[in-house]
C-alpha cells in the first residue's frame, strides 16, 4: 500500500507468522523470500526500487537501545546487502525516529555511510502521519536514495505539509455504525479528537486518546492521556490504546487501529495459513500488525515527490 498501483511487486521478505497470513490473503501472487539473512539475491528478479523498514526495536527509545548491532536491528545490513548486490535505481528505507539518536547518532551515521558506499545519493527526513490527514502522531524517519549524484526527491519540508492539511485526506467518521449512538467522529478532517454520541438527548462527549487502558503507570512522551484536540498516541505492538469519554475508558478496536493507520477496513482481519485455509486473525495479533505497520499515505507522498526517470513497465 502507498506504492503506485501500476507497479509490480517482485517479492517480499517476512518471517512473522501472522504477517505472512495476511500477506498470503492480500497478495496471493507475490513470492515471500523469507528470512532476509538467507536470501540469495541472484535468485530474485531485477527490480527498480527496494522498499522496506528493518526491525526498529534495538533503535527505539522505548527499547534497550542495542543499536545496529542488536539481534533484530542488525537486519539493516541485509537491506544494504540487497542494494549492493542488486543495484536498484531507487530505495526507500523507514525506521523509528529513535534511529537518529541511537548510540549518540553514530548508528544513523553508519546507515548513511552504508548507503553512500553502495553508490546512492540520499535524502532523509522525519515525517509525521498527522501531516497527511492521519489522526495519529507517528513520527518516522524515511531515507530515500537514488543511484548516482542526482537528488532523489523534490524538496519536501514540514512547512509545506503543515500548511496544506486543509486539503488533506478527510477522516470524517472513525467508527461507523447504523446507530448514531455508537459512531465516533473526527474534527476538522484530521480527526484530532474522537467524539462519541452517548444516546438519550445526544449529548456529545469528548473522547480523549488514552495510552494502555490497563497499565496506569505506562507513559508515552511523558503522558498517558492526550488533551482535547490532539491526535492519538503512536500505535505500537506493545500497547493497546483506548479512549476516555469523561466517564469510562474503553480499548480501541482493531478496526479503529487500522483506520488510525490509514488502512482499509478489516485489512488484517483475515489470513491464509500454510495449509491454504482462510482463517480469522485474533485481535491480539491484529494489534501487533498495526503497531508494526507503515502509514501508506506517507509513502504515497514520498512517491509523488520522487524524481523518477526509470519507471517500471
Residues identified as active-site:
56
263 in Cβ contact with 296 (< 8 Å): yes
Distance CA 189, CA 74 (A): 39
C-alpha cell at 95: 525506521
Question: 310 Cβ partners below 8 Å, 6+ apart?
Answer: 48, 89
Q: Which helix (H) or strand (E) holds 77?
A: helix 76-86
Distance CA 227, CA 232 (A): 10
* Rg, the chain, Cα only: 20
Distance CA 40, CA 119 (A): 21
Distance CA 144, CA 50 (A): 10
Amino acid at each position: 500500500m502507498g506504492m503506485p498501483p501500476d507497479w509490480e511487486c517482485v517479492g517480499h521478505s517476512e518471517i512473522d507468522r501472522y504477517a505472512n497470513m495476511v500477506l498470503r490473503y492480500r497478495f496471493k501472487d507475490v513470492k515471500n523470500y523469507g528470512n532476509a539473512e538467507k536470501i540469495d539475491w541472484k535468485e530474485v528478479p531485477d527490480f527498480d526500487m527496494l522498499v522496506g523498514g528493518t526491525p526498529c526495536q534495538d533503535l527505539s527509545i522505548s527499547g534497550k537501545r542495542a543499536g545496529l548491532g542488536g539481534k533484530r536491528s542488525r537486519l539493516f545490513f541485509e537491506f544494504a546487502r540487497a542494494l549492493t548486490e542488486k543495484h536498484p535505481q531507487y530505495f526507500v528505507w523507514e525506521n523509528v525516529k529513535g534511529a537518529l539518536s541511537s548510540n549518540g547518532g553514530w548508528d544513523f551515521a553508519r546507515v548513511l555511510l552504508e548507503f553512500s558506499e553502495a553508490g546512492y545519493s540520499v535524502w532523509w527526513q522525519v515525517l509525521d502521519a498527522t501531516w497527511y490527514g492521519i489522526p495519529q502522531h507517528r513520527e518516522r524517519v524515511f531515507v530515500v536514495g537514488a543511484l548516482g549524484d542526482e537528488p532523489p526527491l523534490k524538496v519536501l519540508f514540514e512547512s509545506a505539509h503543515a500548511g496544506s492539511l486543509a486539503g488533506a485526506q478527510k477522516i470524517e467518521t472513525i467508527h461507523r455504525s447504523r446507530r448514531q449512538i455508537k459512531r465516533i467522529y473526527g474534527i476538522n478532517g484530521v480527526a484530532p479528537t474522537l467524539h462519541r454520541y452517548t444516546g438519550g438527548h445526544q449529548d456529545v462527549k469528548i473522547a480523549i486518546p488514552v495510552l494502555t487502558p490497563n497499565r496506569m503507570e505506562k507513559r508515552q512522551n511523558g503522558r498517558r492521556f492526550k488533551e482535547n484536540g490532539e491526535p492519538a498516541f503512536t500505535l505500537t505492538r506493545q500497547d493497546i490504546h483506548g479512549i476516555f469519554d469523561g466517564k469510562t475508558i474503553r480499548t480501541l478496536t482493531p478496526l479503529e487501529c487500522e483506520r488510525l493507520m490509514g488502512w482499509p477496513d478489516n485489512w488484517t482481519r483475515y489470513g491464509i495459513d500454510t495449509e491454504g485455509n482462510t482463517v480469522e486473525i485474533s485481535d491480539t495479533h491484529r494489534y501487533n500488525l498495526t503497531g508494526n505497520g507503515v502509514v501508506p499515505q506517507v509513502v504515497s507522498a514520498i512517491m509523488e515527490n520522487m524524481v523518477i526517470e526509470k519507471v517500471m513497465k
